Amino acid sequence: MHQTKDNILLNVFVNPIGTSTIVWQIPSNKIEDVEKIIISLPSYKYDLPRFASVPVPLSSKAFPLTTEIKEVKNNSQQLDYTITEDNFGNRKMEIPIKLVTFEKEDIVTIKYQVKEIVNSDGIFFVFVYAFSGIIPNIKYDINLKARLSYTIRKYRFMEWYFDLESGKKIKKKQISKIEKKGDLVTVEFENLALTPKQELDLHLTGTRMPFFIRRDYFWILVFLISIALILSPIWSRLL
């Protein structure tokens, strides 16, 4: 995907070891009147707890994520930034740009990697990345490419929108385009309108199974069958 003029381009890459590389490209002519750029960084993920390496589908648990900043620059000029964290563990990157001098067609590039962001149990691979609009009155082009593992037979992608003030889900027209070639899944958005008070969740699930079933339902079924097998000698004696 090529960046539409005057749109922010967000590239998201996910590799088989569960690391995501995220690259923002922001046209400088859209931030001339902005004091700083604020980007939410992935801080934690929710996954099923495990017992003897087997997912237990009775609850979910938060796991911390590690983010490594690769570059923050305006063309060849490095930009300063700070990482802040609130009382709930949510991290944000703040890039002051009020005193930065931009040329006409400069592009601000922000690149970072998030390790172990994919929830994987060998059968299901779940990637979730959430972000809000970073600048008012600007649109976004998004390109997500994920190679979650080999022999991905089925996948499902969902785009969810939320109001950050109320926390409620927003009904919005789905505009993503999805394509699968082999084990590579590509999701594209063009001219997405997203305000700083709205959040978009990119939710991609891949599975090696020949049919798609929700991950939690699958492991609940496995859990119940396992319990039944464990208790079967007891039931046979009682009966």
In this structure, the number of other CB atoms found within 10 A of the CB of residue 172 comes to: 14
What span, in angstroms and rounded, lies between the C-alpha atoms of 11 and 212?
27
- Residue 4 · residue 76 · CB < 8 Å: no
The Cβ-side half-sphere exposure at 79, using a 13 Å CA radius, reads: 28
* Predicted TM-score of the model (pTM): 0.87
Count of CB atoms situated within 10 Å of the CB of 177: 12
Provide mean pLDDT across the span 177-185.
92
Give residue 99's pLDDT band: very low, low, confident or very high (50, 70, 90).
confident
Say whether pLDDT at 139 is over 90: yes
The residues, any chain, with a CB within 8 Å of residue 103's CB and separated by 6 or more, are: 28, 75
- Residue 237 pLDDT more than 90? no
Q: What is the DSSP letter of 3?
A: P
Phi, psi of 173 (to 5 degrees): -60, 130
The HSE-up count of residue 64 (CA atoms within 13 Å, CB side) is: 7
Q: SS3 of 198, please? A: strand
What residues does each domain of the chain span? 8-238
Cβ proximity of 26 and 141 under 8 Å: no
pLDDT digits (tens, 9 = 90+) for 10-64: 999 999 999 999 999 999 888 878 889 999 999 999 988 877 677 777 778 899 9
CATH of domain 8-238: 2.60.40
- Two tokens, residue 183: 């084990």
Which residue's structure tokens are 């390109």? 143
Residue recorded with tokens 């590799």: 15
Q: What is the pLDDT of residue 44?
A: 92
Q: Report the percent of the chain where pLDDT is more than 90.
A: 53
Interatomic CA distance for residues 109 and 104, integer angstroms: 15
- Across 90-119, b (16+ Cβ under 10 Å) vs e yields ebebebebeebebeeebbbbbbbbbebbbb
